[in-house]
Structure 1
Amino acid sequence: MSKVLMYSTGVCPYCTRAEMLLKQRGVTEIEKVRIDIEPARREEMMTRTGRRTVPQIYIGETHVGGFDDLAALDRAGGLQPLLDAA
């Protein structure tokens, strides 16, 4: 299963929903980068993704985007193959 990295904050409902969806798809480990605790990582996130909002989700080297992007990918049938790729 591909490595999942999620930039998030402690009070983000979309982060929680994204985590729940990933777990429903068999993800057991999510590397969480808390940009509210580590402000320097916010710059890293914005540089990598070009976005300012959380969550920002990577599956392997693929930037999926936020929760809406993740849910749309799942509905289109593209999430599981991406998770299974590694």
Structure 2
Amino acid sequence: MPVVTMYCTAVCPYCVMAERLLLGKGVEVTKIRVDLESGRREEMMTRTGRRTVPQIYIGDTHVGGFDDLSALDRAGGLDPLLAG
């Protein structure tokens, strides 16, 4: 199973929902807190081209935010991506 990384903050409801969806699939999420770690938001923006959290990576694949993750799940594409 690929490593799942999520750029997030403590007060973001979309981050909580994304983590909940992934945990429901038995996936451990590595969180990068952009509100606590200096320079991480800039890293996230450089990597993704986006400013908002969450920003989710499954392995080397940038999935996007919660809406993107949820849409991928509804379309049946999340489970194969998580399976590697």
TM-score scaled to structure 1, two decimals?
A: 0.95
Q: Structure 1: which 5+ residue stretches go unaligned?
A: none
Q: Once the 2 structures are TM-superposed, how far is the Cα of residue 39 of structure 1 from its aligned partner? A: 3.0
Separation in 1 of the partners of 2:53 and 2:38?
A: 13
Q: Once the 2 structures are TM-superposed, how far is the Cα of residue 22 of structure 1 from its aligned partner? A: 0.4
Equivalences for residues 7-86 of structure 1 within 5 A:
7-27=7-27, 29-85=28-84
Q: Structure 2: which 5+ residue stretches go unaligned?
A: none
Moved over 6 A (4+): none
Q: Once the 2 structures are TM-superposed, how far is the Cα of residue 25 of structure 1 from its aligned partner? A: 1.3
State the SS of the aligned residue for 2:76: coil
Structure 2 counterpart of 1:3, which letter? V
Separation in 1 of the partners of 2:39 and 2:6?
A: 15
Q: Once the 2 structures are TM-superposed, how far is the Cα of residue 30 of structure 1 from its aligned partner? A: 1.0
Structure 2 counterpart of 1:30, which letter? V
Separation in 1 of the partners of 2:12 and 2:45?
A: 17
Structure 1 counterpart of 2:56, which letter? I
Matched positions, count: 84
* Pairwise CA RMSD: 0.6
State the SS of the aligned residue for 1:39: coil
1:31-85 residue CA offsets vs partner (Å, 9 max, x unmatched): 1000000130100000000000000000000000000000000000000000001
